Amino acid sequence: MLKNHLKYLLVIITIASFFLYLPVNRVVSGGYNLETPLDKLIPLLPIFAVPYLLSWVFWLGTIFYINLRQKKSTAINFDIKLIAAGVFSSIIYLIVPTFASRAIINGSDVFSNLVKMIYDNDRSYSAAPSGHTFYSVLCLIALNKLAPKYKILWFIITAVIILSTFFIKQHNILDAISGILFALVISYFTDKIKIGD
C-alpha cells in the first residue's frame, strides 16, 4: 500500500514540476530574442493552437502510460527526467532570460481566439529551451523504447507540437533546437542514475 502511495506521489510531483514554469515566466523580463531571418518567413497559422494545447494530452498520457504500465525502475527514471527538465529549465530561464516576438492577432475566429488566450495566459518570456519541445522529445525518446511499433506516430506527434510553436509565434527555431539539445542532455545524464526494481 505504501509503495502505491509513493508511486502516486511521484506522479504528482512530476506533473507539478511542469508548473515551475509559471512563476518563473511571470518574474523574468528582458533578455535575448533568438529570432532568425528564417523565423520571420514563418507565417502565423492560428489553427496550430490546437496541437499546441493538445500537447498536454501527449505529455500526461505518456506519464500515466509509463507509470501505470511499465516496471517501477522505468517509471521512476522517466519521472526523474521530467522533474529534472522542469527544475533545470527554470534555472536557465532565470539566469539567461529569453523571449519570442509575438504576432498581432487580427482575426476573431475560434483559432485566432485560442492564440489570443495562449498569449493572455503565457508571457512571451522563458522561450529557450522550448518547454513544448523538450517535454515532447523526452516523451518521444521514452515511447520509442517502450512502444517502438508506433515510432512513426510518436515522431509525427512530436514534430507537429514543435511546429505548432513556430506557427503561433510562441517560439523561434533556435528555441526549439535548444529544447531538443536540452532534452538529449537531460536524458543522457538521468540514464546514468541506477534504479533497481
Question: The domain containing residue 132 runs over which residues?
Answer: 46-95+108-197
Is it the case that residue 194 has pLDDT exceeding 80? no
Three-state DSSP at 98 gives: strand
The total domain count for the chain is: 1
Note the pLDDT tens digit of each residue in 125-136.
Answer: 999 999 999 999
Instruction: Give the separation between CA 43 and CA 29, rounded to whole angstroms.
Output: 26
Average pLDDT of the chain?
94
Would you list the DSSP string of 162-175?
HHHHHHTTS--HHH
Is it the case that residue 197 has pLDDT exceeding 70? no
Would you list the DSSP string of 23-76?
HHHHH----EE---HHHHHSPP-GGGHHHHHHHHHHHHHHHHHHHHHS-HHHHH
Does residue 9 belong to any structural domain of this protein? Answer: no
29: left (phi over 0), alpha (psi -120 to 50) or beta: beta
Does residue 8 belong to any structural domain of this protein? Answer: no
Note the pLDDT tens digit of each residue in 65-114.
Answer: 999 989 989 999 999 999 999 999 999 999 999 999 999 999 999 999 99
Does residue 169 belong to any structural domain of this protein? Answer: yes
Q: Are 179 and 129 within 8 A, CB to CB?
A: yes
Confidence of residue 3 (pLDDT cuts 50, 70, 90): low
Does residue 178 belong to any structural domain of this protein? Answer: yes
Does residue 19 belong to any structural domain of this protein? Answer: no
pTM, two decimals, is 0.94
